[in-house]
Amino acid sequence: MKKLLSRFKKEIICTLVIIFTYIATSIWILPYGNAIKAVSYYYGSKGDIVYTIQSKLKSWYYYDGDIDGIYGYKTFTAVKKFQGKNGLKVDGVVGNSTLNALGINAGSKVYASSKNTSTNQDVTLLARLINGEARGEPYEGQVAVGAVVLNRTRDPKFPSTVAGVIYQPGAFTAIVDGQIHANLEQSSINAARDALNGWDPSGGAIYYFNPATATSKWIWSRPLIKIIGKHRFCK
């Protein structure tokens, strides 16, 4: 009987030691495990997530540089400004907390559009339209032209797809004069992505025109929202 009790006590002690060792090890390792899982973006980082970070910061007027997917000095200072305004640790590093504050899912590479997703065809087609209509305009104006297309997809007076809006008869001069097929510039691609990501410098416009070349008297009747470069953006 004594032998059984002694053996039972030893088994309990061994079990308790194993449990204690497991808990202690877990507590010690857990922070390092989380650190491994955490993804951070910082000065020198490149890629799609950096591109999205820049797009978000630019749409909220923290960033005024190029949307190029390269985490440079302007991105670094914009991130710090955003962090300071939102009660985050101001270190210029985009970790989980800053990503969450920006509304970015680091595991996603899908661009937002009027229907929450966009295809590569949408990006390319919108970029070509911007390229044909606003080549040489300020970057903000190029994005605004793309935003007008997307605003139309949400308006019942227009087709509900990017292609439908762009190819609607007589809608855009670039389709009529063939400028949609001009050599595609990188800024036009970037502007298309920015517009699809939700940046709308036009202020919700569904029309725009260049006063120097406009031939329609009707377009002048549209309520003006703002002027960007040579274009007037209207309701």
Spell out the domains of the chain, with CATH numbers in brackets: 48-102 (1.10.101.10), 120-234 (1.10.10.2520)
Q: Give the number of residues written for the chain.
A: 235
Q: Which long-range contacts (CB under 8 A, 24 or more apart) does 70-77 make?
A: 70/46, 71/41, 71/42, 71/43, 71/44, 71/45, 71/46, 72/43, 73/43, 75/43, 75/50, 76/42, 76/43
| C-beta separation of 41 from 82 below 8 A | no
Per-residue pLDDT of the chain (235 residues; tens, 9 = 90+): 555 556 656 666 655 555 555 454 444 444 444 433 457 888 888 877 887 898 889 878 899 988 888 899 999 999 999 999 888 899 999 998 898 888 776 554 433 333 334 567 889 999 999 999 999 999 999 999 999 999 999 999 999 899 999 999 989 999 999 999 999 999 999 999 999 988 999 999 999 999 988 888 889 999 999 999 999 999 9
pLDDT at residue 51, rounded to an integer: 79
| C-beta separation of 149 from 162 below 8 A | yes
Sequence-ordered list of residues with C-beta below 8 angstroms from that of 206, at least 6 positions apart, any chain: 148, 151, 152, 155, 157, 158, 234, 235
Tokens 């920006």, located at residue:
102
| C-beta separation of 214 from 203 below 8 A | no
pLDDT at residue 33, rounded to an integer: 44
Alpha-carbon gap, residue 175 to 12, rounded angstroms: 82
Alpha-carbon gap, residue 146 to 131, rounded angstroms: 10
Burial 191-212 (b: 16+ CB within 10 A, else e): bbbbbbbbbbbbeebbbbbeee
